[in-house]
Amino acid sequence: MALQGAGGAAGSSGQEVLSPGQSVTVEVPATSANLGAGFDCFGLALDWRERVGLAVIEKGYQIEMSGEGAAELPRDESHLIIRSALVGLADLGVRAPGLWLGCRNTIPHGRGLGSSSAAIVAGLLAAAGLAQAQVTPDWLLGHANAIEGHPDNVAAAVYGGFVLAYEGRAGVRVAQGHIDSSIGAALFIPETSLATEAARGLLPETVPHVEAAANSGRAALLVHAMASEPELLYEATHDWLHQGYRGAAMPRSCELMKSLRGQGFAAVISGAGPSVLVLGRQADLAVLQDQQAAGFSVRLSGIGSAASILGRQVPGGSDHTVMESPEAGASLRGPTRSGQLR
C-alpha cells in the first residue's frame, strides 16, 4: 500500500487533515453469496452497480440519500458508508474535518443481495480515494471482512466475478474462479426483507457427516460448472448445509426455489435470503423475465466487475461533484466547502 500526498495539513495528532473540497465518486456491485453449496465461501458480483459520492467538508456529517431504505437509514456518522470510510481514513493516517455523503440506493436492503457489503466496500474505497492512497484488494478485503463479519459478499464486491473466500494462514484470502462467458443470473426479489442475523440463527451447530460430504462434493462441482460446463449448474447447486434449515423464515422464497428447480433451473437462496438466485446460460434464463411469481420482482443480470473509483476532485477545481445514477439518470450535486448544497 502506497500513500501519496493527500492534499491536506498535518493535525495535532500527527494525522494529515484532508482539505475541504476534496471529493471522490466510487461504484460498487450488488452481490450474491453461497450459490447453493458454497456456504460462507462462494460469492458472485452482479451486473448491478451503485454510485456513491464522498466529499470533505469543514465540519460534521451531511448525508443526501434517496432510494431503497433511505427513510430508515441513519444520517450521521453511524451510517455504514461513513463508518467504513472513517475506518479506512484512520488506517491510512488521515482524517477529515467533516464528510458529505451522496447516494441513491438501488440495492434493496435485507434481501440477500449484498447491500451492506456494497456500503462497506464503497466507504473503504472512497476513503482510499480521498487519501489518494494506492491500496490493494487485500487491504479492502481485510477491513471489509472485519466490519461485515463474513467474507463472501465483500470479496465479490472487491474482486468482481466469481470468488472463493477462505481463511488462510495469513487471514482471509480469495481465489478468483473462472466463469463461462455464457453464464448469467436471474433474481427473484421479494417485497419483504429478512435480517441476516435472524437467518443465521436458524442454523444448527452440527450437521450429519454424510450431508457435509455430499455438500463438499457439490461445491467442488460448482467451481467446475461455473468455469466450463453450465449444464451441470443444476446438480452443482444442491445444498445440505443451510437452505433447508432456513426455510421456516422464508417459506415463499423456498417454495419459489423448489418450483424453479422443478422446472430444471439452478435456483438457490441468494445469500441469507430471501431473494432467489437462478444461475444458467443467459439465453436460457431469458424466459424467466416474464415468469410471474406473486410478491416477487424479476431482474436479469450478467456477471459484475469489481468496485472501482470513477473519479477524484481536489481543491482548486470546480467545487461540486455530479454523480449520474446508473439506473435513473438522476444526478446528485455535491457540497461546497462549507457542506451547503448548491
Q: What is the pLDDT of residue 70?
A: 86
Q: Which of 126, 111, 71, 136 is nearest to 191 (CA)?
A: 111
Q: What is the pLDDT of residue 331?
A: 35
User: Using CA of residue 101, residue 105, residue 110, residue 113, what is the dihedral sign?
Assistant: negative
Q: What is the pLDDT of residue 336?
A: 43
Low-confidence ranges of the chain (pLDDT < 70): 1-14, 316-342
Partners of residue 57 on adjacent β-strands = 98
Q: What is the pLDDT of residue 1?
A: 45
Write the pLDDT tens digit of every residue in 166-209: 998 989 999 999 999 999 999 999 998 887 777 778 888 899 99
d(CA 94, CA 131): 7
**Parallel, antiparallel or unpaired: strands 8-10 and 42-57:** unpaired
Q: What is the pLDDT of residue 296?
A: 96
Supply 65's cell numbers: 440519500
- Rounded to 5 degrees, φ, ψ at 327 are -100, -45
The whole-chain average pLDDT of the chain stands at 89
At residue 156, what is the residue type? Answer: A
Q: What is the pLDDT of residue 84?
A: 98
Q: Which of 322, 319, 318 is nearest to 332 (CA)?
A: 322
What is the DSSP code (8-state) at residue 108? P
* DSSP secondary structure of 189-218: EESS---HHHHHTTS-S---HHHHHHHHHH
Question: Which position has the grid cell 438457490?
Answer: 268
d(CA 161, CA 173): 15
The SS3 of residue 247 is helix
Supply 306's cell numbers: 469489481
Q: What is the pLDDT of residue 248?
A: 87
Report yes or no: 164 and 38 within 8 Å, Cβ to Cβ.
Answer: yes
Cα-based angle 80, 121, 67 (whole degrees, multiple of 5): 55
Please tell me whether the peptide bond between 274 and the residue prior to it is cis, using omega within 30 degrees of 0.
yes
